[in-house]
Every structure is written in C-alpha cells, then in structure tokens.
Amino acid sequence: MIVVDTNIVCYLLLSSTNTSKAEALFQKDPHWVAPLLWRSEFRNVLALYMRKKILSFEEALLVQEHAEELFKGEEYELPSSQILGLVNSSECSAYDCEFVGLAKALDTRLVTEDKKILQQFPDLAIRL
C-alpha cells in the first residue's frame, strides 16, 4: 500500500510524460490510497482539461468515474489537528499535508513529484 498524491493519479489516468512511470508503479503496487481531498484536486485538473478542450465533458466524466473506482474504499479523512500540526512543522500547504499525514497515519510512503514535500518529508516521501 502506498499513498499517492493527485499528480500521480493524473499521470496514471491522463496521458503525460510520466504516464509510463505511473503505470509501472501501479503494476508494482496497485494498492493506492489517498485522502478525500484527491477528488477535488483531480476534478480541478479535469476542469482545466475541459476548458482547454483536451477532454470533452463526457470524457472527463468517464475519467473521473475510473479514478473513483480505483480509490473505492481507499479514501481517508484525517483529523484537522494532525494536518495543522504538519503545517506548523513544515513549509508545506495544508493540501500537501493531507497526503503526508495519511502516509504517516498508515505507516507507509507517499509517492509524489512535489519538490517541497520531498524536501520537507524525506522520511515519508519518495519520487515516482
């Protein structure tokens, strides 16, 4: 089991230069988990893709449904005190600390390409 941030989900489900790396990670460990926040962040990416005419509304819905199926039963909500504690002890946003906090709570790694998270939490965060 690994925690993945929203960018890793995007790499897996939306074609990019990192898609093959995300697919390899998923083959190696398909048990991906994330805080509930991933849904809003992912929908925001899909909104951008729709506005730029990269995806139609119908295509975006299908991608969202696929993503939600991937994380079915693997989404977590964390106490605000835990997230704010991580914010207080780092330079990361509360959004980023949601993913860090989940990795800490589940005693696992967070896969991310976020430089700040990688720098601030080298004991938990690893690159794709």
Please give the helix or strand (H or E) that residue 4 lies within, else none. Answer: strand 2-4
User: CA–CA separation, 19 vs 11, rounded Å?
Assistant: 5
How confident is the prediction for the chain on average, in pLDDT?
A: 97
Q: Read off the pLDDT of residues 12-30 as tens digits, 9 standing for 90 and up.
A: 999 999 999 999 999 999 9
| pLDDT tens, position by position, 67-87 | 999 999 999 999 999 999 999
**Predicted TM-score of the model (pTM):** 0.94
Nearest alpha-carbon partner for 108 in 128, 91, 90, 123:
123
Share of the chain above pLDDT 70, in %: 100
Distance, in Å, from the CA atom of 38 to the CA atom of 35, rounded to the nearest integer, reads 6
- The tokens for 126 are 């690893």
Q: How many domains does the chain have?
A: 1
pLDDT average, residue stretch 44-56: 98
Instruction: Give me the domain span that covers residue 13.
Output: 2-126
Assign residue 56 the CATH number of its domain: 3.40.50.1010
